Structure 1
Amino acid sequence: MTADKNILVASAAIMVAVSVADQAAAQSARGALAGASRTASNFERDRNVSVRQRPREDYQAMGLRMGAFMAYPKLSLTAEHNDNIYGLATNEVEDMIWRVQPEVSLNSTWSRHALQAYGRATINRYQDFDSEDTEDYALGASGRIDVLATANITGGVDWAQLTEPRTSSSSPLASASPIQYDLTSANIGAAREFNRLRLSGRYDYRKYDYEDGRTAGGTPVEQDDRDREVNALTARAEYAVSPATALFAEVSKNWREYRLSPPAVTLSRDSEGVQALVGANFELGAVTRGEVGVGYISQEFDDSAFDEIEGLGARAQVEWFPTQLTTVTLTGTRTVEDSGIPGSSGYLSTNIGAQVDHELLRNVILTGQIASGKDEYEGVDREDDRLTAGVSATYLLNRRAGVTVGYSYFDQSSSGAAGGADFAVNKVGATLTLQF
């Protein structure tokens, strides 16, 4: 996408936000604070509180007051054993990983509007294989302007230095150390309710900048061909057929532009895509709530060597509350993703998962989860099937400390002429979390 097109897309999103603000100003004479006496929104889904969301007064962080903001510092210390740190089919290598995660979040306490900011780091140190040592960082802020009780503008910016997992299909085996990359993202959106109708729009921007790897002999493992920018515009309309159920239609358009194009690379992976979903969000009594949408997805590539990726699109998240102490969460997605495998433009990714959280005691939470995924690649003969599972237990000692122990399992099987390795990874770990 050209710089001019970027400017046009961003300007369109800003104009939507300004339009909402103008409508609100025009109605101020009738009382901008009328929402104080209005009935509950037809789109609220808050009759129940999940196990993870439930407030625990004796175990919540107190925080530090800083004027109109509250700061919440946190430090996590983890010891983890991994029996296959490189994700290999044979000759697996195990190691002990020591992880330190400092974090601080800053939240506004205003009665209207909201502003949040955060900073965090993840420092991994391998006991025997220090070539795998990594440092990740992330900074970000988000906010909401409540123009009216029924209209708001939201936005956010984030920057992160991240590490690609060795288990990723895009991770190059030739690199002696994990691949790191910078991810910059931003978004702006606006929403307005008109009794039973809610309209919203959003613009998202992401920029990926990969660092080259190095072989054991020092030869560069080029990753510049993966650098890209992604722009997306989303429009959504929802109609509440009852206070507990709303039907929606959502359309998204995206543009994906890679930094390198021919002749620097053999094939261009620039593309344009669309996703159209229809569905419902709901809250059935105090037992079930969620959103389910199905429709069509398509990603069309500029280079004629790549076929269009298209098919059924889907997104779902449903929470079931069999008791007040148990929450069951079901998720599912079907999307088109970018590929880091040479010769492949992208892949159709299908994922489903389930998680159960149970409050054994007020300060003891048990969790079990399982998920399955399939990636179907375009441009190369390859399909990957994944299975992940895990169990964990969290014990909250007091407001300042908590301990989590857990086990996770990851299995990948790959087929096709360009298939990758079949492997499994087992992890066992314990985390001490300190907060103020």
Structure 2
Amino acid sequence: MVPDNTRPTGRDARRLTLIALLLAGTAMAAPLSAHAQTVTNAAVATPPGIVVPGTAAPAITDPQTTGAVSTDDLSPASDEDLIRLNRREPTIDGLRTQLELEDDRAPGVRIGTFTLRPEIGETISHEWRNNGNNNKQNRGYLETGIRGTLTSDWSRHELTVTGAGVLQNNISGEGEEEPRADIDAELRLDLWDETIARLRAGYSFDREDADDPNAIANARTQSGVNTYRLGAAIERNFGLIHGSVGLDFERRTYGDVELDNGTTISVEDRNRNNGTLTARVGYEISPALIPFIEAAVGRSIYDLRQDTLGFERSYQSYATRGGLEVDLGEKLNGEIALGYETYRFEDDRLSDVSGLSVDGRLNWSPQRGTDVLFGLSTGLNPSTTAGVSGSMDYALTNIITHEMRSDLVARLSNTLIIRKYPSDSSSFDETTWRTGAGLTWDMNRYLALTGDVSYERTKPDVGDTTDITRVGVGLVLRR
């Protein structure tokens, strides 16, 4: 059932509003720096890379806007990577798209040894949704997005903070608003003898999709999902041998669900903590080719030993992968890995979820001004259905960005998500396809006009097909 017109309420709304105000205030407080180093404005989205075993596969949402601010439109690298004093080549744990320096982008705001690059955008959009059986719904809405990147320019080490937030406000029709926010920080420490340490922290908020298999029927407002992340890794080169070890922790909590009749239900039995230890070893055949092997073990523990249906859903995860990293410069770089993943649940009534894993991404530039991204990811989506352990989700993303003129950028994107359940599961497999196209016209280095259209179809093996179409136009202000 498609939820009624709603707005983020209570703690969710206050949290998102605070993030928006802080980013907006920082963006507009400092004066313009006309002589700062500038970079090209081609927006290149990055699909997820290798999914950490034991965590739910991230929703690979179609970047709906070419130039508008959105957490679905994450850049693969900070622009400051190109000008900091001690830049190293990207590693297998953090491949980055290489961009060329130009003089057509807002210079950013200099804050001591940091550079802040903020953006704020306003988009007016319309959405048509068809859930089958003549269950149609449409809405018009305003979407306000704030995004920023803060990067150090130190002689050694590097700190990068990226943040984005989106608030939606329905102005006509019916449909659920979809607020979201994301902030990540990474401190890279250049230690000794080709040794690098990385410390990471992050937070994300989004609202569970009404089409998700775990969504609550007859809900006016689906659960708000909070994700907290911490991680640490160390990378070392021993001549031709490249090694890395990483430890990641993630906590995921779910807010209450508001039903059509005004009552609320708690889904706190889904709250869980996950820890994963990953090790990788690669051999440098040449600077351009590095085959590698990787192994990971994880543990996910739910806050409540049993869910409301009496199932113990805590699990252990195991994964092995083998792959190849390719770095042929700006024209072609990336990695691909094949492997096998297993998730074993504590409750004997829940089947193990196992399967082939395919992970990686590839950046290809066939000609100047054209960038092509391919992304693959595999991960577990734990279920809330009685007797069903979860699904293995496979996602393939392709994004093509083309600079038609120096001030006009076009983008085409496609995403395919295949959700596979164990053969003895009572839940049905489903497929989601998203496609979108957009244009960004840079009226000047500080202001851009955007236009976008997207289409999404979710088709389960059994049940109704959901179709969603969106169109929007907007303005983006940069500093």
Instruction: Settle same-fold status: TM greater than 0.5.
Output: yes
Q: Which amino acid aligns with 1:397?
A: M
Q: Return the structure number with greater strand share.
A: 1
Asked if the contact 1:298–1:310 (Cα under 8 Å) also holds between the matched residues in 2, the reply is: yes
Paired residue secondary structure (1:111): coil
Q: Residue 344 of structure 1: CA displacement? A: 2.4
Cα distance in 2 for residues equivalent to 1:132 and 1:285: 44
Question: 1:16 matched to which residue of 2?
Answer: none
**TM-score, with length taken from structure 2:** 0.75
Amino acid at match of 1:194: F
- Counterparts of 1:237-276 in structure 2, within 5 Å, are 237-262=281-306, 264-276=308-320
Q: Which residue of 2 aligns with 1:72?
A: 117
Q: Is the 8 A contact 1:105 1:118 kept in 2?
A: yes
CA contact (8 A) 1:42 1:244 kept: no
- RCO greater where, 1 or 2, for CA within 8 Å and sep 6 or more? 2
Among residues 453, 457, 465, which one is paired with 1:422 in the alignment?
465
Matches within 5 A, 1:127-276: 127-128=171-172, 132-133=176-177, 135-148=179-192, 150-262=194-306, 264-276=308-320
The change in CA–CA distance for 1:229 and 1:45 in structure 2 (over 3 A counts) is closer
Q: Partner residue of 1:21?
A: none
CA contact 2:307–2:313 (8 Å) conserved in 1: no
Alignment-derived partner of residue 331 in structure 1: 375
Q: Give the letter aligned to residue 225 of structure 1.
A: D
Q: How does 1:34-73 map to 2 (within 5 A)?
A: 53-59=99-105, 61-73=106-118
- 1 CA distance for matches of 2:108 and 2:386? 48
**TM-score normalised to structure 1 length:** 0.82
Q: 1:231 to 1:47 in 2, by over 3 A?
A: closer
**Cα gap change, 1:194 to 1:89, in 2 (>3 Å):** farther
Partner of 2:439: 393
Confirm whether residue 381 of structure 1 aligns to residue 427 of structure 2: yes
Quick one: which of 428, 441, 455 aligns to 1:409?
A: 455
> Displacement of 1:192 after TM fit?
0.9
CA RMSD of superposed structures (Å): 2.7
- Measured after TM superposition, the shift of residue 334 of structure 1 is 2.9
Tell me by how many angstroms 1:284 deviates: 4.2
Task: List gaps (5 residues or longer) in structure 1.
Answer: 1-37
After superposition, the Cα gap between the structure-2 partners of 1:337 and 1:263, relative to the gap in structure 1 and judged at 3 Å, is closer
SS of the aligned residue for 1:225 comes to: helix
The farther-off stretch of 387-396 and 135-144 is 135-144
Aligned counterparts of 1:66 and 1:220: Cα–Cα separation in 2: 45
Matched ranges for 1:336-347 at <5 A: 336-347=380-391
Conserved? CA contact 1:225–1:265, under 8 Å? no
* Larger radius of gyration between Structure 1 and Structure 2: 1
Correspondence 1:102 to 2:169: no
Q: What is the aligned partner in structure 2 of residue 434 from structure 1?
A: 477
Is residue 339–residue 347 contact of structure 1 (8 Å, CA) maintained in 2? Answer: yes
Tell me how far apart the structure 1 counterparts of residues 206 and 89 of structure 2 sit (CA, whole Å): 39
Paired letter, 1:318: L
**What amino acid does structure 2 have at the position aligned with 1:237?**
V
| Native 8 Å contact 2:344 2:351 kept in 1 | yes
The percent identity for this pair of structures is: 21
Unaligned runs of 5+ in 2: 1-85
Distance 1:186 1:81 in 2: 37
Name whichever of 171-180 and 285-294 sits farther off. Answer: 285-294
* Matched letter for residue 252 of structure 2: Y
How many pairs align? 391
1:339 shift after superposition: 2.7
Structure 2 CA distance for aligned equivalents of residues 240 and 318 of structure 1? 19
Query: In the TM superposition, what is the alpha-carbon distance from 1:152 to its structure 2 partner?
Result: 1.2
Distance (Å, rounded) in 2 between the aligned partners of 1:93 and 1:45: 43
